[in-house]
Structure 1
């Protein structure tokens, strides 16, 4: 997840699935916590352990409820130093150590007399889902280490676990709709009401290891595995949601390199159309194939190193992305996303966040831009040489700058060929965070 959060407010009907999303975890606390006194402040801590980074969120709520609904606000957030916890496979204790700085921040913010009743949860997403597929023992060890660290603090530790893709997708959908007041609205009189003409938003989330789409379609969801039913503030919602594991931005960049390597045969020098002329990247095969998202070739020699050479070929870059995002052979046709996955036609307005936003922010295409301008901007960027790019963006690190062309084409392929926003492009808003209207 990458959506920055403001106050959260959720209904008790969702408490039945209290362990299914990070917000639901906090919801269950707000609605089930035994209050010391009427309207006393309560606290809860959540670690959002993503594939590329981890963040701590400290929440606060009061005992009073409106129509059996608890009001939860974010008191503070803290970014954990380093990469995601799944990156600590060679040093699992360091995964736990990495959390201490933010735990110290939370301990300083929560009154001492309330710390022992302040619950702490850790929810890990696609990075740990991938690691559990690759090596369940290593994933378990990392979770044990973060558990040991959290338990050493004077909080009420309630668990650390890996969220499913459906949970992650639904979490993003709930968040953007609450923050934009699509579920409820706060009036000048200080009351919460349900807007009569509310238009529920869809959510598009692009992380490092997975990507999620969640929305309410016009037609019933016919595949149970893609349907999430819930009730908030007395209204029922049937949400379509799907998480594409191995199709996050970082894994897509890996898939592209693997595709180029396999197509090159025995050559160690490989043209990369999405990299810029004048840019070269050396990659060991051991690192390249170190993911359950890609399949090792025959006669694999892990000690070999290959060199990718940029060619600034924008059209070929887009074509290769179309191979990665497989849109053929779907048994649910025409109700299809990509990679053979069932998806009803997209409906309504969508917020696209995380890597969607950061990529389009780089190109100056946020929050919205005409489709023709998007294509032109991406193609112009991809045709530039590496020397030109470094001169234009001297402060951007190489590891980010080299991938903007490929990332942009990947995003366009997902959104147009995969999710089929061809005729509804103007319904997508690329957002870093959602603010109250």
Structure 2
């Protein structure tokens, strides 16, 4: 409990910094301003009248407004699903610190990118999730609750016209809702912000990011369409040896954090499946069958990603297993992923999204608690899964390919050592480990990410 209270206070400190400074939040709403004016006016008149009186025999109590709650709604429009994060904050005192109280989370599949040919149906998924928000947030607070959506790799991989049409339709749904719709409420988020904001979320929730300290943890996020790595370098060589666009600066607590961060579009888990199969960007999808030694020999199914369906199969007359699969997957990673200088050290990284999901599916960690593993543990379990595909097929016929891809990505891609520690987690203090909370913070107080 003391640790949880500490973490909530850490979040509170930062929220306060931008609580009254955001330019495009509901605090600029005329109704809010009127309530704030009336409250200040009552206090001012009370103090003015007291100045003209002799001190009373007994101290007079000033009426303190009761604690108020406020919410923020953040939609994560990912490549494989759309998620809604509803954050609840408590403001006990107008001059005090707001506290992050809780998060309500829900999701639908597939993601918006699957509705490129039917934007109305895609927009309907947003309406359904907004119903969750209406049930979660008291009706009297709807008018002052900001609602935002940020789309990630799924829409970044789409044609710009189709992606924009989907975003425009979502904006129309927002405008019809009873919630507060700020400027730029619906947008396509770039990969740098995705990585940086996930780093902000994890380091706030773990208590590593607060004033006068530089101790943080790195993050590894594996989505369906892209993958991100972000950490605070401890070695100047990491910054000096990195491409210029891999270094981002984040202004927070009057301190500038110089982060190593990059998002690899097309290297998310589902996109990597297609790349391994040789199907990503291929033509002739009506008749071509894409095969891989990473799949069970008798496997024959359709694979849909981003609204496109592919025919995939195992190699019935060939060989299957870890070694062959490893070489297939290596072609997807080799020469594409930059290896930061210091990841061969002993830094701790939090890994989530599909890193976590596949570790659970393969029995590497417990799904209810998460766990700490080393990079070598992914390799060991990948070998077991690939050499016993029949056993693991009911869980997922792609489990061998996915576990091998994660192994190759970590070792051959980023260059992590076998003994690098990975903290696999889905939630910290009951809050999802994603960029969504960081993005909500960014809304309340612009972080100036460059």
Superposed, which structure 2 residues align to 1:110-125 within 5 Å?
A: 110-125=137-152
| CA distance in structure 1 between the aligned counterparts of 2:307 and 2:121, rounded to whole angstroms | 21
Q: Secondary structure at the match of 2:167?
A: helix
**CA–CA distance in 1 between the matches of 2:339 and 2:95?**
37
Q: Does 1:376 align with 2:380?
A: yes
Task: Tell me the CA shift for residue 435 of structure 1.
Answer: 3.0
Corresponding residue to 1:99 among 126, 148, 167: 126
Unaligned runs of 5+ in 2: 1-6, 40-64, 366-370, 432-450
CA RMSD of aligned residues (A): 3.7
CA apart distance, 1:143: 0.9
Which of residues 168, 173, 177 in structure 1 aligns to 2:194? 168
- Pick closer, same or farther for the CA change 1:373–1:151 going to 2, 3 Å: closer
Please show how residues 17-416 of structure 1 align to structure 2 within 5 Å: 36=36, 40-63=68-91, 70-79=98-107, 81-131=108-158, 135-158=159-182, 159-184=185-210, 199-220=215-236, 221-222=239-240, 223-258=243-278, 272-281=292-301, 307-309=313-315, 311-327=319-335, 338-339=336-337, 341=338, 343-346=340-343, 348-366=347-365, 367-370=371-374, 373-386=377-390, 388-390=391-393, 393=394, 396=395, 401-416=396-411
Deviations 1:282-328 (A, max 9, x none): 67xxx79988xxxxxxxxxx9x967542542210111121111023x
1:215 Cα offset (Å): 0.2
Say which one has the larger Rg: 2
Distance 2:112 2:157 in 1: 12
Distance (Å, rounded) in 2 between the aligned partners of 1:69 and 1:232: 17
Shift, 1:137, TM fit: 1.4
The 1-side partners of 2:89 and 2:207 are apart by 18
The whole-number CA distance in structure 2 between the counterparts of 1:31 and 1:201 is 35
Task: Say whether the 8 Å CA contact 2:90–2:101 is kept in structure 1.
Answer: no
The change in CA–CA distance for 1:224 and 1:357 in structure 2 (over 3 A counts) is same
Alignment partners' CA distance in 2, 1:415 and 1:31: 46
Instruction: Please list the CA deviations of residues 79-119 of structure 1 after superposition, one character each: whole Å capped at 9, or x if unmatched.
Output: 2x331111111210011111222212212333333222221
Paired with 1:67 and 1:226, the residues of 2 have a C-alpha distance of 39
State the shift of 1:246 in Å. Answer: 0.6
SS in 2 for 1:95: helix
Cα drift, residue 168 of structure 1: 0.6
Structure 1: unaligned runs, 5 residues or longer: 1-5, 20-24, 185-193, 292-301, 328-337
Question: What is the alpha-carbon distance in structure 1 between the residues aligned to residue 374 and residue 305 of structure 2?
Answer: 36
Change (3 A) 1:261 1:275: farther
Across the two proteins, how many residue pairs are aligned to each other?
A: 372
Moved more, 29-38 or 116-125: 29-38
SS at match of 1:252: helix
Q: Against the structure 1 CA distance between its residues 319 and 249, is the aligned structure 2 distance closer, same or farther, given a 3 Å change threshold?
A: same
1:17–1:256: structure 2 CA closer, same or farther, 3 Å change rule? farther
Aligned-pair distance for 1:384? 2.1
Shift of 1:225: 1.8
TM-score normalised over the length of structure 2:
0.72
Q: Which of the pair has the greater relative contact order for Cα pairs under 8 Å at 6+ separation? A: 2
Q: Which residue of 2 aligns with 1:421?
A: 416
Task: Give the Cα separation in 2 of the matches to 1:241 and 1:207.
Answer: 15
Instruction: State the alpha-carbon separation in 2 of the partners of residues 408 and 149 from structure 1.
Output: 38
Q: What's the offset of the Cα at 1:61?
A: 2.6
Q: Are the equivalent residues in 1 in contact too, given 2:26–2:144 (CA < 8 A)? A: no
Q: Deviations over 1:205-257 (max 9, x none)?
A: 00000000000112242444222222434544211110000110101000011
> SS state of the match for residue 368, structure 1?
strand
